[in-house]
Structure 1
Amino acid sequence: MAQPKILLTRIDDRFIYGQDVELWNEAVDANLVLVVNDEIAADSRKWAPMRVAAPDGVWTRFFSVQRTIDIIHTATPRQWILVMVASPADALALVKGGVPITKISIGHMQAGEGKRSATPAVAVSDADTAAFKELQALGIELEIRYLPSSAPDPIGNLFN
């Protein structure tokens, strides 16, 4: 079974969002943006705005976590993939399910009840912190970076 060509895995709870995904896609030169999220995959009404926001000439797919695990290895060598997830829990499930992820770029995680601010754009819960720790223990490199041109923020704030 061939390894899928995953160019970048990014945690951003906005998924395909305006200029952000365009800049990241430009940086990695993907031709497929794969949004992996159970809720989004189950509601096709949410796909249209993201398809419009995707860069020209880039395919979009919306899969559940399990479907991604089940079929990612059927990707062709011509598919250069940017994987977008909303949470470290989804990223961890993909890694545990055998999806070959080696590095995760963390971009935006919305604040909310039970979350603390790690950076101005990243808020984490205790469950998020535990998932990030487990990802690191599995050898996954983590970085907090808003745009490809910006310097990464220290990841220590994810664990404090």
Structure 2
Amino acid sequence: MSIVFSRIDDRLIHGQVMTTWVNLHNVEQIIVLNDRVAQDQTQKSILNMAAPPGIAVKVFPVEKFGQILKKTTITRRTMLLFTNSEDVLLAVKAGVPITELNVGGMRYHEGREKLTKSVAVTESELDAFKELLARNLEVTIQMVPNDERVLLEEVLK
């Protein structure tokens, strides 16, 4: 399995993701797992255009990707990209092998509770994070590699 990095960033593919995380992990392809984005041809086209040359971008519904992995081996160095913790939990339950999760941005807006300056969650997203931690995933909050890694479990104490 060649999943080298898993990240939540509600902006998906943007400058920081491309210039830092992709280079740090020598990523060859980005797989976005989100049911809504998977149905939106315009969004998929934008994601493909936002990726640097040579980086393949694929978008799948979360549970479908779990089914695909049962039949297909990923051979490229792959980054999984999510918009929220609920999708990560769904992916883990579907058999996607994630042991570490980086959380970049989950922006604040009405109805969300701020955990840090860059991460705000709904109640159900918070519950999903707690279940991921209970499943022994290491969840760190870090916008870019030069930032200090903050353990989510410490933030939740």
Q: Is the TM-score greater than 0.5?
A: yes
State the number of aligned residues.
Answer: 155
Alignment of 1:4-153 (within 5 A): 4-73=1-70, 74-77=72-75, 79-153=76-150
Q: RMSD over aligned Cα, in angstroms?
A: 1.4
Could you tell me how far apart the structure 2 residues matched to 1:13 and 1:129 are? Answer: 15
TM-score, normalising length from structure 2? 0.92
Deviation at 1:14, TM superposition (A): 0.7
Could you tell me how far apart the structure 2 residues matched to 1:71 and 1:124 are? Answer: 29
Could you tell me how far apart the structure 2 residues matched to 1:62 and 1:14 are? Answer: 14
| Counterpart code for 1:97 | A
Contact 1:5–1:81 (Cα < 8 Å) also in 2 = yes
Gaps of 5+ in 1: none
Deviation at 1:63, TM superposition (A): 0.5
Gaps of 5+ in 2: none
Could you tell me how far apart the structure 2 residues matched to 1:49 and 1:6 are? Answer: 23
Identity among equivalent pairs (%): 32
Range with bigger deviation, 11-20 or 36-45: 11-20
